[in-house]
């Protein structure tokens, strides 16, 4: 699999055979994603961090307004080339989670109330050739509701492109690219995990 996270042009054409194996793996991944939502909504960050691979890449590009016909090449920033909302690994995510749980995180005091939904889950690649084990590329949509203090409410919706690796009878998130369709962030912060 290509090391570049997402090539939007290639993803348009991606089709894999939807046989019994596809649907069995899809069901496993869907349950994993639902479990992930529950862990994060319940603030069980230590348990969530255990579902992440040590070599995780967690990336959220920024968007630009571009002329028609330029979207594929120029609408989003690129990993390690431009600014991004997130360009993190497991270590930085663990530090962010630890900071939130100290109770002295200015943007999360009091803690936000969050509710996540994941839908439109589709497998885009099944790769048995990796030395580290079976890897699966997955695209999905998400909706996240955030309530802060008393009156602040935010909705985040977008697409995710994930890679999961089978490990120890479960799945580890290896890569996540989050596409948030906002040029300007409408919320006051991005302290949550997508």
pLDDT at 130: 79
Cα–Cα distance, 184 to 181 (Å, whole number): 9
pLDDT at 128: 86
pLDDT at 35: 97
pLDDT at 2: 40
Q: How distant, in Å, are the alpha carbons of 20, 127, 142 from that of 184?
A: 42, 36, 19
What is the largest distance, in Å, between two alpha-carbon atoms of the chain?
A: 51
pLDDT at 123: 97
pLDDT at 70: 66
pLDDT at 73: 67
Q: In which residue ranges of the chain is pLDDT below 50?
A: 1-3, 8-13
Q: How many CB atoms lie under 10 A from the CB of residue 151?
A: 6
pLDDT at 9: 47
Q: How many residues does the chain have?
A: 194
pLDDT at 175: 96
pLDDT at 1: 41
What are the residue boundaries of the structural domains of the chain, listed by start?
20-179
Decide: 89 and 58 in contact? Cβ < 8 Å: yes
pLDDT at 91: 96
Chosen CATH of 20-179 out of 3.30.450.20, 3.10.450.50, 3.40.228.10, 3.40.50.720: 3.10.450.50
Contacts with 19 (C-beta within 8 Å, 6 or more apart), sequence order: none
Q: How many CB atoms lie under 10 A from the CB of residue 48?
A: 21
State how far Cα 118 lies from the chain centre.
Answer: 10
Cα–Cα distance, 23 to 60 (Å, whole number): 28
Q: What are the pLDDT digits (tens) for 63-80?
A: 776 668 766 666 666 767
pTM: 0.84
Question: With pLDDT > 70 as the criterion, what percentage of the chain qualifies?
Answer: 81
């Amino acid at each position: 699999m290509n090391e570049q996270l997402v090539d939007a042009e290639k993803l348009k054409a991606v089709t894999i055979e939807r046989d019994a194996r596809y649907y069995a793996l899809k069901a496993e991944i869907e349950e994993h994603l639902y479990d992930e939502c529950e862990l994060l909504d319940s603030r069980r960050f230590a348990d969530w961090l255990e579902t992440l691979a040590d070599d995780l890449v967690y990336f959220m590009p920024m968007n630009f307004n571009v002329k028609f016909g330029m979207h594929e090449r120029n609408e989003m920033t690129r990993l390690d080339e431009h600014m991004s909302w997130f360009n993190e690994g497991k270590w930085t995510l663990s530090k962010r989670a630890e900071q939130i749980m100290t109770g002295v995180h200015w943007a999360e005091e009091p803690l936000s109330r969050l509710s996540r939904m994941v839908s439109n889950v589709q497998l885009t690649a099944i790769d048995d050739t990796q030395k580290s084990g079976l890897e699966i590329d997955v695209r999905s949509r998400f909706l996240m509701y955030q309530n802060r203090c008393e009156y602040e409410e935010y909705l985040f919706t977008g697409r995710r492109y994930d890679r999961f690796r089978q490990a120890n009878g479960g799945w580890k998130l290896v890569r996540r690219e989050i596409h948030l369709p906002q040029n300007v962030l409408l919320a006051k912060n991005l302290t949550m995990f997508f």
